[in-house]
């Protein structure tokens, strides 16, 4: 492990939505680190705040949402101290994002080469020819056959998996230091997902970029990530190296999530399930958000659970963990 | 731990209130102050139109009440015979402008709303049929609509009125003929989208009859875009009627609508007696603007893509 | 061997979706014929049986036709060719009480909890409409009946007066299930019924399916792309690719020793929690477009074991072991 500054350091991030019905604490005191060349998995269900965390790091939060507290440092540089112009330079340059829907990246009325060249020229003062060459290489690297023909096509001429690959190629164009991927394979078939995971893995190894992979699928994280953060109702409830967290989960939610996966249960018998539903984001208080559904809940859970460090590289937010 | 193999009955979280789509809609509509102002103005106009007989100082259709000696009086001047003030002046036949405007609003609104309602009913049935049955039904209805929409509305109305003659019923018929195609098209697009949705497939799996699926399931969900179009079309119908009256093809002179009042005063506009055209024109403008403001907010509120 | 007929039997069903050709297009085609006729062969000569009380899992990726097959079984769509049998007798077309009972016996649970409920109807009506229309329950008892059904799927009576938008995805799924149960079906087609739900809610709804199967003696055709869910729920699994069945058999056997190369690749690709720091070796190539499927065996362009015959001749589904079927030329190749 290098002891230089980590690639990305997030501390105490809080992002709130100020709506008519009240304040929604979408991201509530989130802290984590991403090292160069390593993959961090951000795991959670809908409403856990995982996507919003990614958007906050990218600076893509629009009103009525706002980052209200926290430090985001890229390679030691504090992003909050930058103005919008400087942040825009970073986006697509040093930090890139891949979305669940590739059409959030691709403009349906522009050809692929136009979009890619534009992305290059926005960050580097090179010639068009050179930008085009870069684009061609990027498409090859993500495994798209006959790139010259593809460059001249429009997004609607591609299948969903191809579009996502093009979106990844665009993200990789300027050799970013950090890539944030928000559920990019959730809507894709299993075989296509396998291809994309394999390509992302190879790309990160080659370029040494750091990767944050946001998903609800624990199995994907198991295969891809080095470290994992489990989120619930806007907070990180547990984090650590992926092997430790998945083999010895300590937070009751993590445990329950792992136990409810079908492959962990005897076929035909009822699955181990978590009772109840996630709380409404407007109804959250200081205490542990999981206590209504937790079999290990005690009185102390009504107070804000402290963030502990049960071992060197793990964090845990629970007063009554499963040992 | 969490071995609850059985299913515990889930108590649904109590939402703020059992808010029906209508109440939610009303509160979202009220968010825009300009739209509320438009709605208030429109409400005032509607009240005035309905209560015209009681609010007007004079019945402008009753020729016995008109005194031609009072013609072309400026606003605020008094009648030579009765001594009552004419708040907005009189026109060239001695008609009190204020009363004329009240009654004119009445006609404009009733013709506009009636023609819109009838055109909507016809367009709705045809559009739904086109979307649901597809095939030649769809082709036939849509081609007729296309042909009609490619002619200017005014032209069609003029031709029809030239053939049918004057009268309120005939104007409404002409306006209906001009308008039904917009509704048919709008309903058809909405229905084509809704038809593919799974709740319609579920209704089919449940062996519900086709009329039931059409009217109980499909129709209520095609209404939002229709409401927006209908509101704007009321304004359009009103201005179309005013134009026809202005051209002298609308209602008879004895029952002046706003258009006719404007036409009457046209010749005096440049000789200083502006009020004969100006105030009716202002009333027409206010009506149309208020309707459009309401329609704009309706469109925003009913647009699912803008849902927050 | 069971002597009674299977509950549902599908024989040689094909479904073709025609491209919509209007007058203008037809005129254009007189001048020049386009390369493809724009029609999609969603299903190609599919035969399947489901026995009473069985759960058959139908698995495959986009374009395999599983959703289309589900809709044909539940009679939302008509097949272009082929026949369907309910308890040994052909599906009835006519109106009449018996035909209607047959239709109601097969119900469908849909994927999208947001689009599968009429947004302008209250829950009591959504659940209670069909049973009243078909005379299963008299109108004045509608609400009571709906309340019972909601309780059975784990929802409070208070849900009855509310509208779909006031519920979460998992709750809406349950309402959809209650609606299907209201007409007392014997057979449920679940089309990706849990795909759109969060993992923890998925577990709840799957458990609900398991419980209902016992309580109401139901038979399921469970359609999903999620191999883990299929393995958990199904007695038998049927694998589809581009409109054809490529393999079928008892779940445990097929998962343990898949025969068809596509099945093998699919099972190998599925991420598993136990598999850490994987090196992914995916199948090469893309799923072909259903508008222009490859010749012969649809899978041959991507198959690591393809040989000459695979390109020319479509393999037939053959029984390779008792209860197991596979459509691959490799099974016949003489060593």
Give the tens place of pLDDT for each residue, C133-169.
Answer: 998 999 999 999 999 999 999 898 888 988 888 888 8
The shortest CB-CB distance from A256 to any of B1, B13, B16 is to B1
Task: Pick the residue from chain A with its C-alpha nearest to B13.
Answer: A280
Which residue out of C56, C64, C112, C203 would a mutagenesis test of the A interface target, given it has the greatest number of A Cβ atoms within 10 Å? C203
Structure tokens at A284: 């959250």
Strand boundaries in C197-288, DSSP class E: 219-224, 236-241, 244-250
Are A191 and C274 inside 8 Å of each other by CB?
no
For residue C242, tell me if it sits in a domain: no
Residue C268 and residue C214 in one domain: no
Are C232 and A265 inside 8 Å of each other by CB?
yes
Q: Can you tell me the distance from the alpha carbon of C268 to that of A195, in angstroms, rounded to the nearest whole number?
A: 12
Which residue out of A37, A51, A189 would a mutagenesis test of the C interface target, given it has the greatest number of C Cβ atoms within 10 Å? A189
What 8-state DSSP symbol labels residue C43? E
Q: Which chain A residues are within 8 Å of C270, Cβ to Cβ?
A: 190, 219
Q: Which chain B residues are within 8 Å of A322, Cβ to Cβ?
A: 1
Return the pLDDT at A2: 45
Residue C187 and residue C324 in one domain: no
Q: Which chain C residues are within 8 Å of A233, Cβ to Cβ?
A: none
Q: Is the peptide bond before C31 cis (omega within 30 degrees of 0)?
A: no
For residue A105, tell me if it sits in a domain: no
Q: Which chain B residues are within 8 Å of A17, Cβ to Cβ?
A: none
For residue A205, tell me if it sits in a domain: no
Beta bridge partners of A34: A8
Q: Can you tell me the distance from the alpha carbon of A132 to that of A148, in angstroms, rounded to the nearest whole number?
A: 10
Residue C214 and residue C138 in one domain: yes
For residue C26, tell me if it sits in a domain: no
Beta carbons within 8 Å of A252's beta carbon, 6+ residues apart: A290, A294, A295, A296, A318, A320, A321, A322, B1, B2
Q: Could you tell me if C119 lies within 8 Å of chain B, comparing CB atoms?
A: yes
A162 closest CA partner among C302, C285, C294: C285
Sign, CA dihedral B82-B83-B88-B91, equals positive
Q: Can you tell me the distance from the alpha carbon of A92 to that of A171, in angstroms, rounded to the nearest whole number?
A: 7
Q: Which chain C residues are within 8 Å of B5, Cβ to Cβ?
A: 207
The secondary structure element, H or E, covering residue C318 is strand C318-321
What SS3 class is residue B137? helix
Residue C176 and residue C291 in one domain: no
> Residue B10 pLDDT more than 70?
no
Return the pLDDT at B13: 44
Bridge-based pairing state of the strands C8-17 and A314-317 = unpaired
Return the pLDDT at A323: 66
Give the tens place of pLDDT for each residue, A105-161.
Answer: 899 999 999 999 998 998 888 999 999 999 998 888 887 888 888 899 898 888 888
Are A223 and C228 inside 8 Å of each other by CB?
no
Portion 132-171 of A in contact with B at CB < 8 A: none
> Residue B14 pLDDT more than 60?
no
> Residue A1 pLDDT more than 60?
no
The shortest CB-CB distance from B199 to any of C118, C165, C166 is to C118
Q: How many CB pairs under 8 A join A and B?
A: 32
Q: Which chain B residues are within 8 Å of A291, Cβ to Cβ?
A: none
Are B1 and A272 inside 8 Å of each other by CB?
yes
Q: Which chain A residues are within 8 Å of C195, Cβ to Cβ?
A: none
Beta carbons within 8 Å of C150's beta carbon, 6+ residues apart: C123, C127, C156, C157, C159, C160, C174, C175, C178
Portion 165-224 of B in contact with C at CB < 8 A: 197-199, 201-209, 212, 216-217, 220-221
Return the pLDDT at C207: 92
> Residue A283 pLDDT more than 90?
no
Q: Can you tell me the distance from the alpha carbon of A70 to that of A236, in angstroms, rounded to the nearest whole number?
A: 14
> Residue C335 pLDDT more than 50?
no
Question: What's domain B45-61+75-306's superfamily in CATH?
Answer: MetI-like (1.10.3720.10)
Give the tens place of pLDDT for each residue, B217-238.
Answer: 998 888 888 888 898 899 888 8
Q: Average pLDDT for residues B75-104, to the nearest whole number? A: 79
Are C200 and A192 inside 8 Å of each other by CB?
no
Count of structural domains, chain C? 2
Portion 9-38 of B in contact with A at CB < 8 A: 10, 13, 16
Q: Could you tell me if C115 lies within 8 Å of chain B, comparing CB atoms?
A: yes
Return the pLDDT at C249: 95
Domain containing residue A231: 8-35+43-82+225-317
ipTM comes to 0.86
- Residue C20 pLDDT grade (very low, low, confident, very high; cuts 50, 70, 90): low
Q: Which chain C residues are within 8 Å of A194, Cβ to Cβ?
A: 269, 280, 282-283
Beta carbons within 8 Å of B81's beta carbon, 6+ residues apart: B67, B69, B70
Q: Average pLDDT for residues C295-307, to the nearest whole number? A: 88
Return the pLDDT at C95: 67
Q: Can you tell me the distance from the alpha carbon of A67 to that of A94, in angstroms, rounded to the nearest whole number?
A: 21
- Residue C37 pLDDT grade (very low, low, confident, very high; cuts 50, 70, 90): low
The secondary structure element, H or E, covering residue C109 is strand C106-109
Q: Could you tell me if C213 lies within 8 Å of chain B, comparing CB atoms?
A: no
Which residue out of A62, A63, A269, A272 would a mutagenesis test of the B interface target, given it has the greatest number of B Cβ atoms within 10 Å? A272
Return the pLDDT at A201: 84
Give the tens place of pLDDT for each residue, A34-87.
Answer: 998 899 999 998 888 999 999 999 888 888 888 898 999 988 888 877 888 888
The shortest CB-CB distance from B12 to any of C129, C130, C167 is to C167
| Minimal CA separation from A295 to chain B, in Å | 6
Strand boundaries in chain A, DSSP class E: 8-19, 22-34, 39-43, 65-74, 77-78, 95-98, 178-182, 210-215, 227-232, 235-241, 307-311, 314-317
CA torsion C17→C21→C26→C30, rounded to 10°? -30
Residue C168 and residue C281 in one domain: no
Residue C274 and residue C229 in one domain: no
The secondary structure element, H or E, covering residue B222 is helix B219-246
Return the pLDDT at C2: 54
> Residue C212 pLDDT more than 70?
yes
Residue C101 and residue C145 in one domain: yes
Give the tens place of pLDDT for each residue, C225-261.
Answer: 888 899 999 999 999 999 999 999 999 999 999 999 9
Q: Which chain C residues are within 8 Å of B16, Cβ to Cβ?
A: none
Count of structural domains, chain A? 1
Give the tens place of pLDDT for each residue, B236-294.
Answer: 888 888 888 888 777 777 777 888 888 888 888 888 888 888 888 899 899 999 999 98
Task: Pick the residue from chain A with its C-alpha nearest to B27.
Answer: A20
Return the pLDDT at B20: 67
CA torsion C158→C162→C167→C169, rounded to 10°? 100
Query: For residue B90, which phi and psi values (nearest 5 degrees)?
Result: -130, 165
Are B12 and C204 inside 8 Å of each other by CB?
no
Give the tens place of pLDDT for each residue, C59-98.
Answer: 998 888 899 999 999 988 889 999 999 888 888 766 677 7
Return the pLDDT at C308: 87
Q: Which chain B residues are within 8 Å of C163, Cβ to Cβ?
A: 19-21
Q: Average pLDDT for residues A303-320, to the nearest whole number? A: 88
| Minimal CA separation from C71 to chain B, in Å | 9
Q: Which chain C residues are within 8 Å of A51, Cβ to Cβ?
A: none
| Minimal CA separation from C288 to chain A, in Å | 9
| Minimal CA separation from B1 to chain C, in Å | 15
> Residue C106 pLDDT more than 90?
yes
Return the pLDDT at B6: 36
> Residue B15 pLDDT more than 70?
no
For residue A112, tell me if it sits in a domain: no
Residue C213 and residue C293 in one domain: no
> Residue A183 pLDDT more than 80?
yes
Burial class (CB in 10 A: 0-12, 13-18, 19+), C242: buried
Residue C222 and residue C162 in one domain: yes
Neighbours of B63 (CB within 10 A): 12
Q: Which chain A residues are within 8 Å of B3, Cβ to Cβ?
A: 272
Instruction: Identify whether the C-beta of residue A169 lies closer than 8 Å to the C-beta of residue C258.
Output: no
Are C276 and A222 inside 8 Å of each other by CB?
yes
The secondary structure element, H or E, covering residue C11 is strand C8-17
Q: Average pLDDT for residues C214-229, to the nearest whole number? A: 92
Share of chain B above pLDDT 90, in %: 19
Return the pLDDT at C35: 56
- Residue B5 pLDDT grade (very low, low, confident, very high; cuts 50, 70, 90): very low
The shortest CB-CB distance from B2 to any of A19, A275, A277 is to A275
CATH of the domain at C79: 3.40.50.300
Q: Average pLDDT for residues B156-169, to the nearest whole number? A: 84
Structure tokens at B186: 């709008």
> Residue C1 pLDDT more than 60?
no
Are B13 and A272 inside 8 Å of each other by CB?
no
Give the tens place of pLDDT for each residue, C120-134.
Answer: 889 999 999 999 999
Return the pLDDT at B21: 66
> Residue C110 pLDDT more than 90?
yes
Domain boundaries, chain B: 45-61+75-306
Return the pLDDT at A85: 84
Q: CA B190, B195, B198 angle in degrees (round to 5)? A: 125
Domain containing residue C294: 260-335
For residue C34, tell me if it sits in a domain: no
Task: Pick the residue from chain B with its C-alpha nearest to A256.
Answer: B2
Strand boundaries in C39-80, DSSP class E: 40-50, 55-59
For residue C246, tell me if it sits in a domain: no
CATH of the domain at A49: 3.40.50.300
Q: Scan for tokens 């998992």, then name that residue.
A: C170
The shortest CB-CB distance from B3 to any of A252, A272, A296 is to A272
Q: Scan for tokens 């724009």, then name that residue.
A: C38
Are A277 and B2 inside 8 Å of each other by CB?
no
């Amino acid at each position: 492990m290098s002891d230089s500054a980590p690639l990305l350091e997030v501390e105490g991030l809080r992002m709130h939505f100020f709506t008519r019905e009240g304040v929604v604490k979408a991201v509530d005191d989130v802290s984590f680190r991403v090292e160069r060349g390593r993959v961090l998995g951000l795991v959670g269900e809908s409403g856990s705040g995982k996507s919003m965390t990614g958007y906050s790091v990218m600076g893509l939060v629009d009103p009525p949402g706002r980052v209200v507290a926290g430090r985001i440092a890229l390679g030691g540089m504090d992003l909050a101290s930058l103005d919008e112009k400087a942040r825009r330079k970073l986006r697509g340059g040093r930090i890139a994002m891949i979305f669940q829907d590739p059409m959030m990246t691709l403009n349906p009325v522009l050809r692929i080469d136009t979009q890619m060249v534009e992305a290059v020229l926005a960050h580097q003062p090179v010639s068009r020819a050179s930008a085009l060459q870069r684009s061609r290489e990027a498409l090859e690297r993500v495994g798209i056959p006959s790139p010259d023909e593809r460059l001249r096509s429009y997004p609607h001429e591609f299948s969903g998996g191809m579009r996502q690959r093009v979106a990844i190629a665009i993200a990789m164009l300027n050799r970013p230091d950090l890539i944030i991927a928000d559920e990019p394979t959730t809507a894709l078939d299993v075989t296509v997902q396998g291809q994309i995971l394999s390509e992302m893995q190879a790309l990160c190894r080659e370029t040494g970029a750091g990767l944050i992979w946001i998903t609800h699928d624990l199995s994907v994280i198991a295969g891809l990530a080095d470290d994992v953060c489990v989120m619930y109702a806007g907070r990180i409830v547990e984090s650590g190296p992926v092997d430790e967290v998945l083999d010895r989960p300590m937070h009751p939610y993590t445990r329950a999530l792992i136990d409810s996966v079908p492959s962990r249960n005897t076929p035909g018998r009822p699955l181990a399930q978590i009772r109840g539903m996630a709380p409404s984001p407007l109804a959250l208080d200081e205490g542990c958000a999981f206590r209504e559904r937790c079999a290990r809940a005690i009185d102390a859970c009504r107070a804000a659970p402290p963030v502990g460090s049960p071992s060197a590289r793990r964090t845990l937010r629970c007063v009554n963990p499963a040992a | 731990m969490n071995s609850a193999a059985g299913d515990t009955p889930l108590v649904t979280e109590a939402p703020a209130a059992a808010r029906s789509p209508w109440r939610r809609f009303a509160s979202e509509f009220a968010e825009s102050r300009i739209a509320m102002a438009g709605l208030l103005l429109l409400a005032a106009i509607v009240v005035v139109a309905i209560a015209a007989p009681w609010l007007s100082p004079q019945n402008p259709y009753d020729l016995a009440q008109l005194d031609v000696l009072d013609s072309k009086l400026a606003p605020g001047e008094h009648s030579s015979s009765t001594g009552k003030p004419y708040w907005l002046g009189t026109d060239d036949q001695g008609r009190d402008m204020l009363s004329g405007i009240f009654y004119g609003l009445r006609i404009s609104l009733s013709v506009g709303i009636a023609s819109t309602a009838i055109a909507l009913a016809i367009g709705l049935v045809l559009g739904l049929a086109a979307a649901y049955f597809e095939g030649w039904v769809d082709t036939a209805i849509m081609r007729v609509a296309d042909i009609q929409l490619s002619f200017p509305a005014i032209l069609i109305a003029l031709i029809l009125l030239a053939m049918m003659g004057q009268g309120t019923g005939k104007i409404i018929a002409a306006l209906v003929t001009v308008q039904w195609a917009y509704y048919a098209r709008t309903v058809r697009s909405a229905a084509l989208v809704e038809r593919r949705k799974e709740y319609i497939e579920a209704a089919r799996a449940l062996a519900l009859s086709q009329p039931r699926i059409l009217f109980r399931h499909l129709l209520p969900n095609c209404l939002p875009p229709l409401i927006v179009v209908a509101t704007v079309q009321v304004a359009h119908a009103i201005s179309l009627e005013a134009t026809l009256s202005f051209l002298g093809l609308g209602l008879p002179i004895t029952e002046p609508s706003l258009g006719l009042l404007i036409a009457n005063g046209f010749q005096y506009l440049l000789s200083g007696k502006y009020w004969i055209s100006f105030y009716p024109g202002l009333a027409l403008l206010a009506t149309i603007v208020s309707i459009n403001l309401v329609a704009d907010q309706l469109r925003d509120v009913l647009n699912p893509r803008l849902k927050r | 061997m069971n002597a009674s007929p299977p509950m549902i039997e599908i024989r040689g069903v094909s479904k073709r979706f025609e491209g919509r050709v209007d007058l203008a297009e037809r005129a254009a085609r007189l001048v020049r014929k386009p390369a493809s006729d724009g029609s999609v062969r969603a299903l190609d000569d599919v035969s399947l049986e489901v026995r009473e009380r069985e759960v058959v899992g139908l698995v495959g990726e986009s374009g395999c036709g599983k959703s289309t097959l589900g809709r044909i079984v539940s009679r939302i769509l008509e097949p272009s060719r082929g026949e369907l049998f309910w308890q040994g007798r052909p599906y009835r077309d006519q109106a009449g009480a018996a035909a209607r009972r047959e239709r109601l016996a097969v119900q469908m649970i849909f994927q999208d909890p947001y689009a599968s409920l009429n947004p302008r109807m209250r829950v009591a009506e959504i659940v209670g409409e069909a049973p009243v229309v078909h005379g299963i329950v008299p109108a004045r008892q509608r609400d009571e009946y709906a309340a019972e059904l909601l309780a059975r799927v784990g929802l409070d009576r208070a849900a009855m007066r509310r509208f779909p938008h006031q519920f979460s995805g998992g709750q809406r799924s349950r309402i959809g299930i209650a609606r299907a149960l209201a007409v007392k079906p014997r057979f449920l087609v679940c089309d990706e019924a849990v795909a759109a739900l969060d993992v923890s809610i998925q577990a709840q709804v799957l458990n609900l399916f398991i419980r209902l199967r016992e309580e109401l003696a139901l038979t399921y055709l469970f359609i999903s792309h999620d191999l883990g869910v299929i393995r958990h729920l199904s007695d038998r699994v049927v694998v589809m690719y581009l409109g054809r069945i490529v393999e079928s058999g008892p779940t445990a056997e097929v998962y343990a020793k898949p025969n068809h190369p596509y099945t093998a690749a699919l099972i190998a690709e599925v991420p598993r929690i136990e598999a850490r720091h994987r090196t992914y070796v995916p199948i090469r190539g893309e799923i072909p477009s259903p508008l222009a499927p490859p010749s012969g065996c649809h899978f041959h362009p991507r198959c690591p074991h393809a040989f000459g015959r695979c390109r020319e001749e479509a393999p037939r589904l053959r029984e390779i072991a008792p209860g197991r079927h596979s459509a691959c030329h490799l099974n016949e190749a003489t060593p």
